[in-house]
Amino acid sequence: MHGWSGKILTVNLTERTTAELILPAEVYQRNIGGKGLCGELLFDHFRYVWDDPRLPLAFMTGPLNNTSSPTSGRMTVMSRSPLTGAVCDASVGGRLGTVLKRAGYDGILVTGRSGDWCGLTINESGVALQSAGHLAGFAISDLHARLTTAPGMQSGAHAMVGPAAENGVRYAAIVFDGHYFAGRGGLGLVMAEKRLKFISVSGTLKTDVFDRNELKLAREEIYRLVAASPVLTGDLGLTNYGTGALYDLMRSRRMMPTNNFRQTYFEPAPSMNAYAYKKRYATKKFGCAGCHILCKKVGERGEIIPEFETMSHFSALVGNADLDAVVAANRVCNETGMDTISAAVALATYAEITGLQMTPEVLLKMLEDIACGRNDGALLGQGALRYARESGRPEVAMVSKGLEFPAYDPRGAYGMALAYATSTRGGCHLRAYPVAHEILRKPVATDRFSLSGKARIIKISEDMNAVVDSLTACKFLFFAASLEEYAKALQGVTGMRTSAQELLKAGERIYYRERIMNARNGFTAADDDIPARFFRESGSSSESLRIDPINRSEFLRERAAYYRIRGLDDQGLPTQEKCRELDLPC
């Protein structure tokens, strides 16, 4: 095969055995890689609860990893979420996807549970499990430093879990190469439950490319579109300001979640924007393997500059106007290895219920309590919904399927409301990312205050992003490029004849399979919803811009249309007919 190595490493931590799984070429072609392969391999095991040793944790690369295709350094991690019980996958950057291919594997499938903390090492000498008990309790930066100085691993790549995972935080992350997070839904806790502390990989193999000239032409087309994209490479775009470039825009559109989504406008925001970070920290850029956009930012003294969601939630959402506190809060989450979005929403929920003011001191203390599982932090570490339920105020948790909402208030972009509701992962902006067209005008602008026609747009976008996460490419690139160009890149790498629309069909199958997996675990239309607050309360209007509650009837009508388009019944459940069409077991 070209593009794929044809081998997946399986690791049974209970038995402490490893093996190589060889899949037929058509399985690769049908699932592409990344998210698609994860779903294929987890499908029959998805009824296991998150802490059942039989539940797999999958790390899968895509056919474009370790090639010159733009943004080909990513990979997908998938398992069942300890936070939500739903499908949980994360597209993650860094270098591990590339290096794993260099080691000769398309992915790693981990099952079982080790008796003690262990680490998995893959290098030219082979695959080994080693004791990692001595690494427990280390902050992520210290752990990463130790892993990178291990013999033969200086140019390796590493995935690891930190103290938050060790302490049972349900939104603990897996951290890649010290900075890149498989952040959402608690994949870190799944890894910790298996007592797998780290994975370290090095390798030097090349990935076979079918037609280098076709790949080169595709790359040129993609680069041309990226250069033409103001959002990516414009003076105000991600290259210069990182994802924080969105901060001013969300404020100006009055859709910045503020004080636990009770308002949508944060007065101090102009002094806490991406420009403010750039000035204060003299930022430089860095990024994932195989990417020329380099959207991550680091200060001159090594401070990691928060991403947009973190910037917004540790300021507006919790009512904090101290820029340095945002950086410090980000550092706590990074060093302990936990999702900033869920942590911030849990704290905002806490602040609303208790009336506590989130001063910088309180903010940092409570984050540390969450990561360490102490005081009120122990319950907050179980997620906003569990905390709110325990407090008798479940309506205050701003979640869908138990996953906390990121920094886009759906009252300012109605497609986002539907996308949050239908996401197989829960309160996630990345499955359909309607902000692209509702706010960023890509590929063209749509009316952000209308649900009309959004059902089909959301469905198509979910299918498209399922492909992107299977390739595995970066979603940001699709502000500029499209599957038309990436189909050409995929053809160039693998030799597989395909097109944008054929890839969308593969994406439809990949996404529908996740609906089946969730349905088998009891998820229904009741879970495809967003909190009542968004239907009852207005956002923060101005004289010229009204931010009204979303019309519940219109929302339900469009959700019903989504079910019809997606081939689900009126309870959001898979149908025999659609399963047959997609060749999936129902």
Residue ranges that bind other proteins, judged by CB under 8 A: 221, 223-231, 233-237, 240-241, 244-249, 252, 270, 273-275, 437, 439-446, 452-453, 455-457, 460, 463-464, 484-485, 487, 499-502, 504-505, 508, 561-562, 564-565
Nearest-10 Cα torsion for 323, 325, 330, 336 = 170
Q: Which residue has the tokens 């005081």?
A: 375
Q: Cis (ω within 30 of 0) for the bond into 443?
A: yes
**Nearest-approach distance from CB 429 to other proteins, in angstroms:** 17
Q: Which residue has the tokens 């991690």?
A: 77
**Nearest-approach distance from CB 558 to other proteins, in angstroms:** 8
**Nearest-approach distance from CB 385 to other proteins, in angstroms:** 31
**Nearest-approach distance from CB 254 to other proteins, in angstroms:** 12
CA distances (Å), origin 389, targets 40, 57, 529? 35, 29, 17
List the structure tokens of 515: 């609906």
Nearer to other proteins, 51 or 484 (CB): 484
Nearer to other proteins, 68 or 252 (CB): 252
Nearer to other proteins, 4 or 562 (CB): 562
User: Dihedral of CA 100/104/110/112: which sign?
Assistant: negative
**Nearest-approach distance from CB 66 to other proteins, in angstroms:** 25
**Nearest-approach distance from CB 295 to other proteins, in angstroms:** 12
Q: Which residue has the tokens 């409301």?
A: 417
Nearer to other proteins, 278 or 401 (CB): 278
Nearer to other proteins, 281 or 562 (CB): 562
**Nearest-approach distance from CB 519 to other proteins, in angstroms:** 20
**Nearest-approach distance from CB 256 to other proteins, in angstroms:** 12
DSSP H helical segments within 472-551, as ranges? 483-494, 500-520, 533-536
The number of beta carbons lying within 10 Å of the beta carbon of residue 524 is: 12
Q: Which residue has the tokens 């004080």?
A: 259
**Nearest-approach distance from CB 512 to other proteins, in angstroms:** 13
**Nearest-approach distance from CB 428 to other proteins, in angstroms:** 20
**Nearest-approach distance from CB 261 to other proteins, in angstroms:** 22
In angstroms, the first-to-last Cα distance of the chain is: 31
Which residues pair with residue 285 across a beta bridge?
Answer: 297
Nearer to other proteins, 23 or 545 (CB): 545
List the structure tokens of 283: 């930022």
**Nearest-approach distance from CB 230 to other proteins, in angstroms:** 5
List the structure tokens of 367: 């984050």
Nearer to other proteins, 18 or 229 (CB): 229
Nearer to other proteins, 88 or 293 (CB): 293
DSSP H helical segments within 149-243, as ranges? 163-166, 187-193, 212-227, 230-233, 238-241
Nearer to other proteins, 192 or 246 (CB): 246
**Nearest-approach distance from CB 556 to other proteins, in angstroms:** 13
CA distances (Å), origin 25, targets 2, 62, 496, 570? 10, 14, 10, 36
Nearer to other proteins, 144 or 509 (CB): 509
* DSSP structure string for 532-562: THHHHS-----SS---PPPPHHHHHHHHHHH
Nearest-10 Cα torsion for 85, 90, 96, 99 = 100
Indicate the residue type of 537: E
Q: Which residue has the tokens 């469009």?
A: 558
**Nearest-approach distance from CB 122 to other proteins, in angstroms:** 37
Nearer to other proteins, 359 or 575 (CB): 575
* DSSP structure string for 432-453: T-THHHHTS--SS---TT--TT
| Those residues with Cβ within 8 angstroms of residue 96's Cβ, 6 or more apart along the chain or in another chain | 59, 75, 157, 158, 159, 176, 177, 199, 201
Three-class DSSP labels, 15-73: CCEEEEECCCHHHHHHHCCHHHHHHHHHHHHCCCCCCCCCCCEEEECCCCCCCCCCCCC
| Those residues with Cβ within 8 angstroms of residue 392's Cβ, 6 or more apart along the chain or in another chain | none
Nearer to other proteins, 98 or 461 (CB): 461
Nearer to other proteins, 439 or 474 (CB): 439
Nearer to other proteins, 330 or 461 (CB): 461
427, 449 contact by CB (below 8 A): no
Nearest-10 Cα torsion for 573, 576, 581, 586 = 70
